[in-house]
Structure 1
């Protein structure tokens, strides 16, 4: 009897490879920084979400929203590092405007389950109800796969 074949294109395999690569990058950067446990767990969480969104690609609104958020965080962090290197005193503007984020406004004024669901699924603030359900189903499937992959990795590395 031959061993079961492993499909290299399956979501689990691609997510595991991407997550391990992101963790490896995180560990190589760790030697340069002294991070607290909270910062490290936050970086692992970001690596897990980035892996999940990257594997899904740009075909889903939630994955585009996660990748955009991670990219914006990196840009802000890079800008802060550049600002710290600058020795000139910085003049702060008097009026600071919050970033414009599109908020879903329910035309009926119902604050039901749909509004609660929009708060949970990234990038769902501007889609219709049918699209929201489709995105939610895919997001849940990917989250379940992410949990399964992480459990498998923990089990594997705890036996070594």
Structure 2
């Protein structure tokens, strides 16, 4: 009986993770919502996401009040500068309520990647966001290749390799 219980407990533990991981697993290889919905900047002007088709895109949802989000953005800036000329782009959509807060933060940080604004929090609902930040790596074909819930600096080398691999694929 104890042997059966020892085998059953790990299986039950893994099954308990299914509802948590399912939204991320289901997003892989689906068309990216980035290209289906409008994105605006802090002034309410549309960002031309259609121009990103054919590029590898890191699409991030974040906020200035979120410490892990703030830690991720300089990394994304570095990736943008490093891989931008090769066909890579970052789109970071903030859910801050204040456009002024967002503008000030981006100006002080000197980010050069595309920064969108979602004061109503529609993107987190649309993308079934469970943790901040969450990013998705989107291939040249417009499908989600990798979901990145949260931010872990130890995962940056793996993200970098994934970007390099996607950029190596023919457009």
TM-score (norm 1): 0.24
Please state which structure has a larger fraction of its residues in helix.
1
TM-score (norm 2): 0.23
Please state which structure has a larger fraction of its residues in strand.
2
Q: Which protein is bigger by CA-based radius of gyration?
A: 1
